[in-house]
């Protein structure tokens, strides 16, 4: 069956929108997080010039990790843009268009909280090292732990986006029945993306205060790290809920 060229053009346009949403939203959190880290590192160097080298290394490591959610978003944006030329007539459906838009929302929105949260942890780590140079090693370990936990919601968003891309062969649905499926696909992406913002930020708050605490009282770093793990695990659960609902919407609800 012939497909209206305007329909194909519309679907291609929505894929572009999905790519723009991916990196547009995805760059917000990483930019804020990296800027905050640099701010705290600058403050620390001014306070403790002799520790400038150690603070600089901590800043660069922290910024590299804060960059990862933005890199996830960039990868998905490239994948979506490269998808344009491969869209077939069978795929030129509203379901396909909504899936690609949901893909961008999933990875882009999820990167906001993670990028900002990881920056909060590394920023306080730079400040703690400048305040108490002897605890640099312990603070760095706590920073990496907090950043790893804060990044995980963005990983969920990245996985959700990849699933939407990998299942592209399932979106060739036309007729009136496409409406619930198309709505479920974009709802799944929005659910995963928005649901990951809070956990990323929340874990970042925990990680930043853990770094501050280890800097102030390094003898109790084990207890502080244990509290960090427990608190982050509870905060992480909400992004897991979002991922479960994403799976239900995309794989079950949409095809009923």
Give per-residue pLDDT as tens, 18-51.
999 999 999 999 999 999 999 999 999 998 888 8
Task: Judge whether residue 90 has pLDDT over 70.
Answer: no
More confident site: 88 or 256 = 88
How high is the pLDDT of residue 166?
A: 85
Beta carbons of 232 and 195 less than 8 angstroms apart: no
Beta carbons of 154 and 110 less than 8 angstroms apart: yes
- The whole-angstrom separation of Cα 173 and Cα 222 is 55
Backbone φ and ψ of 92, nearest 5°: -75, 70
Mean pLDDT, the chain, rounded, equals 89
Fold exhibited by the domain 5-168+176-255 = 1.20.120
Task: Judge whether residue 156 has pLDDT over 70.
Answer: yes
Task: Judge whether residue 169 has pLDDT over 90.
Answer: no
Among 110-124, 138-152, 166-180, the range scoring the smallest mean pLDDT is 166-180
Task: Judge whether residue 175 has pLDDT over 60.
Answer: no
Give the CA diameter of the chain.
Answer: 73
- The whole-angstrom separation of Cα 163 and Cα 151 is 19
- The whole-angstrom separation of Cα 204 and Cα 143 is 10
Matching residue, tokens 């659910």? 191
Give domain limits for the chain.
5-168+176-255
More confident site: 256 or 97 = 97
Beta carbons of 143 and 122 less than 8 angstroms apart: yes
Task: Report how many helices (DSSP H) and strands (DSSP E) the chain contains, helices first.
Answer: 7, 0
Average pLDDT of the segment spanning 218-222:
92
Matching residue, tokens 């929108």? 17
High-pLDDT (> 70) share of the chain, %: 89
Task: Judge whether residue 7 has pLDDT over 80.
Answer: no
């Amino acid at each position: 069956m012939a497909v209206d060229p305007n329909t194909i053009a519309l679907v291609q346009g929505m894929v572009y929108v999905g790519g723009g949403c991916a990196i547009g939203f995805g760059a917000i959190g990483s930019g804020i997080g990296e800027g905050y880290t640099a701010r705290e590192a600058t403050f620390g160097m001014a306070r403790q010039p002799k520790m400038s080298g150690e603070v600089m290394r901590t800043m660069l490591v922290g910024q590299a990790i804060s960059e990862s959610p933005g890199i996830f978003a960039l990868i998905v944006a490239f994948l979506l843009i490269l998808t344009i030329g491969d869209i077939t007539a069978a795929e030129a459906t509203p379901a396909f268009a909504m899936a690609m838009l949901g893909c961008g929302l999933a990875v882009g929105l999820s990167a906001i909280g993670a990028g900002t949260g990881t920056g909060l942890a590394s920023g306080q780590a730079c400040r703690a090292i400048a305040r108490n140079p002897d605890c640099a090693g312990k603070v760095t370990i706590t920073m990496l732990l907090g950043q790893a936990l804060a990044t995980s919601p963005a990983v969920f968003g990245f996985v959700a986006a990849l699933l939407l891309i990998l299942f592209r062969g399932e979106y060739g649905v036309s007729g009136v029945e496409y409406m619930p499926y198309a709505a479920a696909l974009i709802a799944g992406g929005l659910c995963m993306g928005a649901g990951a913002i809070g956990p990323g930020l929340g874990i970042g708050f925990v990680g930043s205060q853990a770094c501050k605490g280890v800097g102030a009282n390094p003898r109790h770093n084990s207890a502080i790290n244990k509290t960090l793990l427990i608190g982050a695990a509870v905060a992480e659960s909400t992004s897991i809920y979002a991922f479960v609902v994403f799976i239900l919407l995309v794989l079950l609800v949409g095809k009923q």
